[in-house]
Homo-oligomer: A and B are copies of this chain.
């Protein structure tokens, strides 16, 4: 699944520019795209070429010009068709697991230190996302149901990170107990 459908998704909430989309992606952690220019501007050119997005150049008396894209009827149809195809399974990439597979090379205290740093990074990330959420980020367009769904989308990564933090905590407890048993 490429970034195109995510862009079309944003455009269903109203026309915007490449720069606007960039910010939207940066805000929407759940969508996992970094919001880098290369993909967004290229994708917009493609969407316009395919007739899925229309383009209007906005030249305000002050401020820089921008290209404002809107979803077309054809774009809405393409998006709907895609929505009805089979959804992808989620992917979880956890670098920490790749580290754990080599933990044999670490002393118990080194391993616990690694997990402690991981737990701390998780904590900070969670705090950051919660702060963003409190400030009411993300589009809140559309019907009641859509607003509800956007909240669900924004909450999801926070919930997963919390679950990850709990997992690390329980793993550290288990490793602590094991160390005690070994030393007996």
- With contact pairs A93-B90, A100-B149, A156-B167 given, residues A84 and B12 touching in the complex (Cβ less than 8 Å): no
The listed residue with most B CB atoms (<10 A of its CB), out of A97, A110, A153, A160, is A97
A182 is an interface residue with CB less than 8 A from chain B: yes
The listed residue with most B CB atoms (<10 A of its CB), out of A96, A100, A114, A161, is A100
Question: Given the complex, which residues of B lie within 8 Å of A125, measured CB to CB?
Answer: 89
Secondary structure dominating the interface of A: helix
A79 lies within 8 A of B92 (CB): no
Question: Given the complex, which residues of B lie within 8 Å of A6, measured CB to CB?
Answer: 98, 101
A80 CB to nearest B CB, Å: 5
A132 is an interface residue with CB less than 8 A from chain B: no
B90 lies within 8 A of A105 (CB): no
Question: Given the complex, which residues of B lie within 8 Å of A8, measured CB to CB?
Answer: 102
Across the interface, A160 reaches (CB within 8 A) one of B76, B92, B98, B122, namely: B92
A56 is an interface residue with CB less than 8 A from chain B: no
A residues in contact (CB < 8 Å) with B: 1, 5-6, 8-10, 12, 28, 30-32, 76, 79-80, 83-84, 86-106, 108, 110, 114, 117-118, 121-122, 125, 142-146, 148-150, 152-153, 156-157, 159-161, 163-164, 167, 171, 174-175, 178, 182
What are 11 pairs between A and B in contact, CB < 8 Å? A9-B101, A86-B121, A87-B114, A88-B96, A89-B121, A89-B122, A90-B161, A90-B164, A92-B157, A97-B153, A103-B149
Which 8 A-B pairs rank lowest in CB-CB distance, beginning with the nearest? A88-B95, A9-B102, A9-B101, A90-B94, A87-B118, A91-B93, A104-B142, A104-B146
